[in-house]
Structure 1
């Protein structure tokens, strides 16, 4: 059978059965459904998974279940209006077209601009993946390998083939894709503080906003920090993630008393206002600066660096002047 035989319509009136091809093997069922049930809210997808309306080989599965080749997927009747994903405006498309750091037949790596979400959603006029699908009409299998917060800039991986997506997801699960970030934080970072190990718990407010807090009953979260530059009242840090929790760097930095400059969710309002007034910092100073990929089984090795965007580089230049 083809990779997927189901096309979302306004109403699916009967149960549908799909056979999963080898190209889809390894993908999480929730991500598969979110991609292919265009217009169906995530809340509805998780509900039909939780209630057992979605089944694999006649059995109930969890959202974390990973598809296998030849799995038979049962989809219940769907009553949900199809929503055509919004596309970023012309200026954003131009920005994305000029953001390429590396490209081959398997992967695209861009220097994601700050201020654009990786994918569209409620109240968002299109994201990175929607824009790239417009820019790459001959690459129908484009998929995000991972995510960056909307205000975070830097290296973002997009797989061009499902086989590469599976390989990269396996590396991410094993912590074998090495990612480095640059973050400007408030105050002087203690040189001996090379690691923050504090469990994180994610809460979703009624508005849908996600808030992450350090909590004893949270998930394990470990972040490594090292000083890149010390300024009069701020510190530029190199950061490496040993786990990949939502907002991990931002919450860990704030937890130890050194919030990231420009962080409107976890940061210090008066510090952010000062940085905006004195240094024209208009958004979060967190940048995914480098990543290393090693896939020896296919002799594939990459080391990619993303330069700071001009707006953040100018902040650093101005901080240099005032030392």
Structure 2
């Protein structure tokens, strides 16, 4: 017999959903059969699986050890995925802020937000590995609850990633990003001079084959359905040779490649952007500053009313070293933002 006590991060879900995670290799028909036969009970009583779990509830599973191991996938412990992920990495240096529900992470350029393939290592795996090594979560708990990031950045975009450590954190933060009750600001350097604050809008269409997006003018008549986008532009400084502009971008909508494609569509592509940028300009910055990726940094998040400690606060992520070098080399004096 196996006994499990429901913790904070497991509470609030239906009993059968919990069992599908606990016995992830078992068919749902097997789980419901065990419930009917009282081989799985909740607080010592028969249950149909529809009860909502509460913290402190006790689940008992009356299965032979080899049967339980087979259906729980114990031989391929989920925690093994995260062992040694952070070897040689000072993950603490990425942390901007942390409490019991949230970690704000300054993701380096070149690191995935979430893995696309099993062999990938992403900031999500790094954060879970950090929690395991710090004993904030136990390996067994990962079978029924996984902490997770709640926003994504392109691999080659640096800056602020929000990670939910608890179920409460994930649920509240996910809803905030969905409802756009988090203000998102980016820093970037673009080709050309932009000296007036402006808000640009349009429609966006994704070219799946080439993994690019195309901006369509709002007034253009078409039968196709496009996503609406809105991007705020606040110029901060112009380079010494009047060739480049440092911008703060406010992201009102969050679509794939929105900032990169939107700025390129108004003839101000981001420097270093191999997809939407100017090859000649990119070569200049690659040769002079070793810039390998688009210079786009998720710089600041401002949170509004919520039941978390980040309520009504804003946080900033330090710019990468190459960004600082370009500012020093191409712009006058100390640029403030």
TM-score for both structures, normalised by structure 1: 0.71
How has the CA–CA distance of structure 1 residues 212 and 103 changed in structure 2, closer, same or farther, with 3 Å as cutoff? same
Q: Please tell me the root mean square deviation across aligned C-alpha atoms, in Å.
A: 3.2
How has the CA–CA distance of structure 1 residues 246 and 276 changed in structure 2, closer, same or farther, with 3 Å as cutoff? same
Q: Which residue of 1 aligns with 2:60?
A: none
How has the CA–CA distance of structure 1 residues 15 and 272 changed in structure 2, closer, same or farther, with 3 Å as cutoff? farther
Q: Which residue of 1 aligns with 2:321?
A: 310
How has the CA–CA distance of structure 1 residues 16 and 172 changed in structure 2, closer, same or farther, with 3 Å as cutoff? farther
Aligned residue runs from structure 1 range 1-323, under 5 A: 1=15, 4-7=18-21, 15=29, 94-122=89-117, 125-137=120-132, 138-139=136-137, 140=142, 141-189=146-194, 191-192=195-196, 194-205=198-209, 210-215=211-216, 217-231=225-239, 232=241, 233-297=243-307, 300-320=311-331
Distance between the aligned counterparts of 1:151 and 1:240, measured in 2? 19
Distance between the aligned counterparts of 1:304 and 1:151, measured in 2? 21
Task: Check the 8 A contact 1:177/1:293 in 2, yes or no.
Answer: yes
Distance between the aligned counterparts of 1:239 and 1:309, measured in 2? 17
Provide the secondary structure at the position in 2 that maps to 1:275.
helix
Deviation at 1:98, TM superposition (A): 1.6
Provide the secondary structure at the position in 2 that maps to 1:116.
coil
Distance between the aligned counterparts of 1:86 and 1:298, measured in 2? 29
Distance between the aligned counterparts of 1:258 and 1:295, measured in 2? 35
Distance between the aligned counterparts of 1:20 and 1:157, measured in 2? 32
How has the CA–CA distance of structure 1 residues 192 and 311 changed in structure 2, closer, same or farther, with 3 Å as cutoff? closer
How has the CA–CA distance of structure 1 residues 124 and 268 changed in structure 2, closer, same or farther, with 3 Å as cutoff? farther
Task: Check the 8 A contact 2:101/2:308 in 1, yes or no.
Answer: no
Distance between the aligned counterparts of 1:188 and 1:22, measured in 2? 57
Q: Which moved more, 1:93-102 or 1:147-156?
A: 93-102
Q: Which moved more, 1:172-181 or 1:294-303?
A: 294-303
Distance between the aligned counterparts of 2:283 and 2:249, measured in 1? 24
Distance between the aligned counterparts of 2:261 and 2:302, measured in 1? 24
Choose 1 or 2 for highest CA Rg.
2
Task: Check the 8 A contact 1:88/1:131 in 2, yes or no.
Answer: no
Task: Check the 8 A contact 2:20/2:28 in 1, yes or no.
Answer: no
Q: Which runs of 5+ in 2 are unaligned?
A: 1-14, 33-48, 54-75
Distance between the aligned counterparts of 1:123 and 1:265, measured in 2? 26
The 4+ residue runs of structure 1 with deviation greater than 4 A are 7-23, 82-93, 296-299
How has the CA–CA distance of structure 1 residues 8 and 256 changed in structure 2, closer, same or farther, with 3 Å as cutoff? farther
Task: Check the 8 A contact 1:142/1:159 in 2, yes or no.
Answer: yes
Distance between the aligned counterparts of 2:181 and 2:231, measured in 1? 15
Provide the secondary structure at the position in 1 that maps to 2:89.
helix
Distance between the aligned counterparts of 2:205 and 2:275, measured in 1? 15
How has the CA–CA distance of structure 1 residues 123 and 142 changed in structure 2, closer, same or farther, with 3 Å as cutoff? closer
Deviation at 1:203, TM superposition (A): 2.7
Task: Check the 8 A contact 1:145/1:158 in 2, yes or no.
Answer: yes
How has the CA–CA distance of structure 1 residues 234 and 9 changed in structure 2, closer, same or farther, with 3 Å as cutoff? farther
Task: Check the 8 A contact 2:147/2:170 in 1, yes or no.
Answer: no
Aligned length in residues: 262
